[in-house]
Amino acid sequence: MKTKLTTKQLIQIAVIAAIYAALTAVFMSISFTTLQLRVSEIMVFLAYFNPISIIGLTLGCFLANLLMSPTPFLDCVFGTLATLLSVGAISLTAKAFKGSKVGMMVASIWPVIFNAVIVGGMLCYAGFVPMEEGREIFSLIATMGSVGFGEMVVVMVMGIPVTYILMTKYKKIVNTYLVLK
């Protein structure tokens, strides 16, 4: 079964990608470190409300990594993969929990896990983290923990409250412009 995107959906996907990349650019100094405080990751919750936003979020991540990362090739492959898996899992979690608030909390775990493992592993094995001989596993775990902690701060501590506020106070605007129906 083929799904044809409407012009409105294509524009919304492009806007989501542009906002993601712009937020990453504004906070670039904290977006590409082992702590990974990428403020644009707050947007991953859009996938909770409509799976089509997965395209915009993944494209935005790819563009941010391509244009701003100190290691564009690695980040375009592994960072974008982490985002794609995260937002895909968030969308599936929304279906499983029927869009509930509890489901949103469960969904917030996915970006933490995928980014910690994929991006943390990439940073460690690509040589961006000093690794002492015989202590490689400790460096790997510490790097994954650091990336996961940064993602937890952005997605769980900042993202969940911001999303709740947007969905309660600005529900009509969010549904009209960002939730892709």
Q: What is the per-residue pLDDT across 34-79, written as a single tens digit (0 to 9) for each?
A: 888 999 999 999 999 889 999 999 999 999 999 999 999 999 999 9
Asked, for residue 1, whether it belongs to a domain, the answer is no
Asked, for residue 2, whether it belongs to a domain, the answer is no
Asked, for residue 161, whether it belongs to a domain, the answer is yes
Where is average pLDDT lowest: 6-20, 105-119, 123-137, 151-165?
Answer: 123-137
Q: CA angle, 11 as apex, 6 and 14 as ends, to 5°?
A: 125
Asked, for residue 66, whether it belongs to a domain, the answer is yes
User: In this predicted structure, what is the pLDDT of residue 172?
Assistant: 79
Asked, for residue 157, whether it belongs to a domain, the answer is yes
CATH number, domain at 129?
1.10.1760
As for how many domains the chain has, the answer is 1
Separation between Cα atoms, residue 36 and residue 145, nearest integer Å: 11
Closest to 38 in 3D by CA, of 141, 142, 147: 147
Give the helix ranges, DSSP H, for the chain. 7-26, 28-31, 46-49, 53-68, 72-74, 80-96, 101-107, 109-114, 120-125, 136-152, 160-169, 171-177
Asked, for residue 45, whether it belongs to a domain, the answer is yes
Which residue range(s) make up the domain with 43? Answer: 7-177
The pTM assigned to this predicted structure is 0.92
Q: Provide the residue count of the chain.
A: 181
Query: Quick one: how far is CA 82 from the chain centroid?
Result: 8
Asked, for residue 104, whether it belongs to a domain, the answer is yes
**Tokens found for residue 119:** 């991006």
- pLDDT tens by residue, 88-123: 999 999 999 988 889 999 999 999 999 999 999 999
CA 120, 121, 126, 131 torsion: positive or negative? Answer: positive
